[in-house]
Amino acid sequence: MKNMPVFDKVTPSLLEAMPYQYAGKDINVCIETEEFTCLCPWTGLPDYAYLVINYVPAKTVVELKSLKMYFQTFRMVGMVHESAVNRIMDDLVKAVKPKNMSVELEFGIRGGITTTVSAEYHKRQRRGCIEA
């Protein structure tokens, strides 16, 4: 591990990328956990979410232990749901540079309301003329 988690701030430096041995061969990587938590920024109460990440790797994949440690750094951070999904997406895209990725968080019922937030990333294709 690069370093240990700090529990009062999100720590993307914990994320480690490993070489994808089959670069050029598209596969879907699906990661799921029921252990994602952050704090409601207004009440300080914990928000619990079911998290699903799907991505197609380009040259690297995320190392799972580092991902779990990264998720733990959200535990004591006040963050609205929409910010959490975007932060995870941004940090993972920066770490593994996938061809595409989706992140979805389904937050548990609070006050009779369940919230699901999602974000998607698609690597931009180069524009220009195609040579024959």
Catalytically annotated residues:
40, 47
Asked whether the beta carbons of 16 and 81 are under 8 A apart, the reply is no
Tell me if residue 103 falls in helix, strand or coil.
strand
Distance CA 55, CA 103 (A): 9
Tokens standing for 34? Answer: 């029921």
Q: Which of 37, 67, 40, 64 is nearest to 49 (CA)?
A: 37
Dihedral of CA 94/66/53/74: which sign?
A: negative
β-partners of residue 119 are 103
Q: Which residue has the tokens 């990333």?
A: 121
β-partners of residue 71 are none
